[in-house]
Amino acid sequence: MSTELHLKRIQEKLQQLLKEHTAVQNENGKLKEELDSLNKKITEQQNNVDELKQQISILKVSSENMNEADKKEFEKRINGYLKEIDKCIALLGQ
């Protein structure tokens, strides 16, 4: 085989690899965008779940039909919120 033929085959293979590389990069970009979109949706759904849990807690408190376990859980949650608020205030004071 001649050197020219070898060079031509290598060049063709290189061109094919470059095309495949570009296609993979494009697909990777699309997949990253899709992943970002899905992560945003997950965050939104988690926020919705948290809001609904808070609404349930408020409804339980307002109905005054809480048992001891629910009351303790509610107090624990409020104490957690108070600690978070204290942390935020401390950070604002710095």
Domain of residue 72: give its range: 66-94
Question: Is the pLDDT confidence value at 73 over 90?
Answer: no
Q: What is the mean pLDDT of residues 70-82?
A: 83
Residues 81 and 47 in one domain: no
Residues 5 and 48 in one domain: yes
User: Model's pTM, two decimal places?
Assistant: 0.54
pLDDT of residue 24: 97
Q: Tell me what the pLDDT averaged over the chain comes to.
A: 87
Dihedral, CA of residue 74, residue 79, residue 81 and residue 87, to nearest 10? -170
CB burial of residue 60 (10 Å; 0-12, 13-18, 19+): middle
Residues 9 and 55 in one domain: yes
pLDDT of residue 1: 61
Selected residue with higher pLDDT from 86 and 19 = 19
Residues 56 and 87 in one domain: no
Tens of pLDDT, residue by residue over 3-16, are 889 999 999 999 99
Tens of pLDDT, residue by residue over 40-69, are 999 999 998 988 888 887 777 776 666 778
